[in-house]
Amino acid sequence: MSQTLQAIRGMNDILPDEAELWEQFEETVIDWLRAYAYRPIRMPLVEPTPLFARAIGTATDIVEKEMYSFVDSLNGEQLTLRPEGTAGCVRAVLEHNLLYDGAKRLYYLGPMFRHERPQKGRYRQFHQIGVEAMGFAGPDIDAEQILMCQRLWDDLGLADIRLEINSLGQTEERQKHRADLVAYLEEHAEVLDADARRRLQSNPLRILDSKNPAMQEIVEAAPKLIEYLGEESLAHFAGVQALLKDAGIPYRINPRLVRGLDYYNLTVFEWVTDQLGSQGTVCAGGRYDGLIAQLGGKTQPACGFAIGVERLLALWKEQGHVAASVGPDVYVVHQGEQAARFAFRVAEALRDAGFALQLHCGGGSFKAQMKRADASGAELAVIIGDIEAAANEVSLKPLRATAEQRRVPFDQLAEAIGELLFEEEDEDGGI
Ligand code: ATP
Ligand code: MG
């Protein structure tokens, strides 16, 4: 082949060994979400471009430079591959009037698309678990969402993820702070980098988030939003913190935590680890009380967060987790015409009995087939020749233990296999 086709840069194939790990992860995640009564929702991967400009804000990194946008050549519509899920989720909730009978807890998982420079922990197609609670005003739901993250880390056996929180207050509070912040930054214009200068008018809060070492000193000393918060905002923040303390969850207030999306207010939080290099934020979220009205609904409070799946899985592996093996229970080898037909019957009967089977397909010598059986990870091989088939029997051979191969009548096979698999588990210490 003269030219091999390759995946788009920053978009990864997830191969079977890895994909099995993803599935095991997703099983844990779905159980965890059910434990908090969150229900699934699935939105399209493509949305009208204006949705994101309106929801996320035009002066954000995402809308300014990271979106995959294109024109539908059939009807001229402006479309975008979703860079995050909250905007589409709110759109769906409004379109289908899901809040008509009260607040809702919703989740989704799937790919998001951002045109960023690919590096470890940063991809152009990546995956998020998005968790959204709409119609809840109090600090209880914010705290519950944070607690629930801690439980997922525990369920996965993850350590060393620290919690940072902040409050962004309300719009009027942010406006006062913003005016003082811009004045302060203008006084120090000579140390601002190009990015910061560009943001000075459009999104000055984001400058506080800068990682440029040359700017750390002035950013540290900048006016802190938290000092501009009024009584109500402070009470909400105190409410969240009280519940975190009750639950014994350590946290740090990071006054520079501002988040990259415009729709947040009051509580914001991030879960960060030092074990993944500079892409250490594995989960981020907060309150977005203005977004539902901003997208045309009745004003409704809401709070949510998103987990970066690639980053969390990288941490899971970093901390020693390996995928549980998921080979078949039984591999069926067979030779001869009658044997092949009998093997089909045997395989389906064993699946009826609840076992996972790999039926050898494509022929080959018994020896070659046994090699395959061994490589499949199966515990047992069922071996069928024409002689066995004629007698309505099979040979049963343990592949991982030293036990003898023996003949078993078809109608006793499921029971015999059950005993052998069950015994093995007992030897391993049982379940
Ligand atoms: P960052 O500051 O790392 O760019 P962000 O503020 O843009 O993050 P959010 O939009 O809040 O990220 O997304 C929530 C989470 O999704 C992040 O904390 C991260 O774990 C993950 N994430 C975001 N962008 C990417 C990406 N390009 N590749 C992999 N994971 C990502
Ligand atoms: Mg980003």
Decide: 12 in ligand 1 pocket, CB within 6 A: no
Rounded Cα gap, residues 127 and 122, in angstroms = 11
Query: 119 forms bridges with which residues in the sheet?
Result: 122
Q: Could you tell me the distance, in angstroms and rounded to a whole number, from the CA of residue 366 to the centre of ligand 2?
A: 55
- At residue 426, the pLDDT reads 56
pTM here is 0.92
Q: What is the DSSP string of 413-426?
A: HHHHHHHHHHHHHH
Compute the Cα dihedral for 213, 214, 220, 223 and give only its sign.
negative
Q: What is the distance, to the nearest Å, from the Cα of residue 44 to the centroid of all Cα atoms in its chain?
A: 17
Rounded Cα gap, residues 212 and 195, in angstroms = 10
- At residue 425, the pLDDT reads 58
Compute the Cα dihedral for 405, 410, 415, 418 and give only its sign.
positive
E-assigned strands of 290-426?
Answer: 302-308, 330-335, 357-359, 380-385, 393-398, 406-409
Rounded Cα gap, residues 17 and 35, in angstroms = 28
Backbone torsions φ then ψ of 418, nearest 5 degrees: -55, -45
Q: What is the DSSP string of 247-306?
A: TT---EE-TT---SSTT-EEEEEEEE-STTTT--EEEEEEE-TTHHHHTTS----EEEEE
Q: Are 133 and 301 in contact (CB under 8 A)?
A: no
Decide: 308 in ligand 1 pocket, CB within 6 A: yes
Q: Could you tell me the distance, in angstroms and rounded to a whole number, from the CA of residue 392 to the centre of ligand 2?
A: 63
Q: Could you tell me the distance, in angstroms and rounded to a whole number, from the CA of residue 186 to the centre of ligand 2?
A: 25
Token pair 């078809």: residue: 410
Q: Which ligand is nearest to the CA of 312?
A: 1
Decide: 305 in ligand 1 pocket, CB within 6 A: no
Decide: 123 in ligand 1 pocket, CB within 6 A: yes
Decide: 310 in ligand 1 pocket, CB within 6 A: yes
- At residue 2, the pLDDT reads 62
User: What are the C-alpha distances in Å from 9 to residues 13, 64, 68, 119, 125?
Assistant: 11, 20, 14, 10, 9
Instruction: Report the candidate in 341, 340, 343 with the shortest Cα–Cα distance to residue 351.
Output: 343
- At residue 35, the pLDDT reads 98
Task: Please work out, in degrees rounded to the nearest 5, the angle formed at the alpha carbon of residue 210 by the alpha carbons of 179 and 110.
Answer: 110
Pocket test for ligand 1, best of 52, 120, 126, 288 (most atoms within 8 A of CB): 126
Decide: 63 in ligand 1 pocket, CB within 6 A: no
Token pair 């560009």: residue: 198
Instruction: Report the candidate in 51, 29, 48 with the shortest Cα–Cα distance to residue 40.
Output: 29
Instruction: Report the candidate in 41, 26, 148, 27 with the shortest Cα–Cα distance to residue 104.
Output: 41
- At residue 427, the pLDDT reads 54
The pLDDT tens digits for 162-219 are: 999 999 999 899 999 999 999 999 999 999 999 899 889 888 988 988 889 999 999 9
Pocket test for ligand 1, best of 67, 68, 311 (most atoms within 8 A of CB): 311
Q: Which residue type occupies 133? A: A
Q: Are 265 and 169 in contact (CB under 8 A)?
A: yes
Strand, coil or helix: what is 386? helix
Q: Whose CA is nearest to atom 9 of ligand 1?
A: 284
- At residue 424, the pLDDT reads 55
Q: Could you tell me the distance, in angstroms and rounded to a whole number, from the CA of residue 365 to the centre of ligand 2?
A: 55
Tokens matching residue 339: 């044997």
Token pair 């990864």: residue: 12
Q: Whose CA is nearest to atom 2 of ligand 1?
A: 260
Decide: 311 in ligand 1 pocket, CB within 6 A: yes
Instruction: Give the number of the atom of ligand 1 that is nearest the alpha carbon of residue 281.
Output: 18
Compute the Cα dihedral for 39, 44, 46, 48 and give only its sign.
negative
Instruction: Give the number of the atom of ligand 1 that is nearest the alpha carbon of residue 83.
Output: 10
- At residue 289, the pLDDT reads 96
pLDDT tens, residue order, the chain (431 aa): 567 899 999 999 999 999 999 999 999 999 999 999 999 999 999 999 999 999 998 888 899 999 999 999 999 999 999 999 999 999 999 999 999 999 999 999 999 999 999 999 999 999 999 999 999 999 999 999 999 999 999 999 999 999 999 999 998 999 999 999 999 999 999 999 998 998 898 889 889 888 899 999 999 999 999 999 999 999 999 999 999 999 999 999 999 898 767 788 999 999 999 999 999 999 999 999 999 999 999 999 999 999 999 999 999 999 999 988 889 999 999 999 999 999 999 999 999 999 999 999 999 999 999 999 999 999 999 999 999 999 999 999 999 988 889 999 999 999 999 999 987 555 555 44
DSSP state of 57: -
Rounded Cα gap, residues 191 and 218, in angstroms = 8
Q: Could you tell me the distance, in angstroms and rounded to a whole number, from the CA of residue 308 to the centre of ligand 1?
A: 6
